[in-house]
Amino acid sequence: MQLLKIQLTISSYSIKSLEQYFKVYRKSIRKPKKFWAKIAENNFTWYRKWDKVVEFDMEKAEFTWFRNAKLNITPNYIDRHLANRGDENGIIVISAIPFVTPTKPTYASLPLPGIKRV
């Protein structure tokens, strides 16, 4: 299975003002398929790209997003951050036991079940 590597550009959708929010919102309403396809292409790593961005039946209120697409949470949650943010906190683990200091492993140190890093 070939993995489609896609450059992450999440900062391009960082909303900094109410005016900017409405501008992005209008884009999403005018051309939702194009809008969400761009978000998906720029922000996730896909094993298989979708056949259709969205299919819907408004009378039944049924929606199917990214028909036949395949992705895996590990490359999207951890691996995409390794190159630029590997030394940053990947997660904060807070104990249920009072007075235990939370641990803050980096992205690079997070264990990936079944995957051996080299």
The Cα–Cα gap between 69 and 67 comes to 6
Number of domains in the chain: 2
CA 116 to chain centre: 23
Each residue of 54-95: pLDDT tens digit? 999 999 999 999 999 998 877 777 777 777 888 888 778 888
* In the predicted structure, residue 26 carries a pLDDT above the cut 70: yes
Asked whether residue 49 falls in the same domain as residue 21, the answer is yes
User: Has residue 57 been placed in a domain?
Assistant: yes
CA 44 to chain centre: 5
Residue 97 domain boundaries:
78-109
User: Has residue 115 been placed in a domain?
Assistant: no
Closest residue by Cα to residue 42 from 73, 16, 76? 76
Is 8 within 8 Å of 43 (Cβ atoms)?
yes
Asked whether residue 63 falls in the same domain as residue 86, the answer is no
pTM metric for this prediction: 0.59
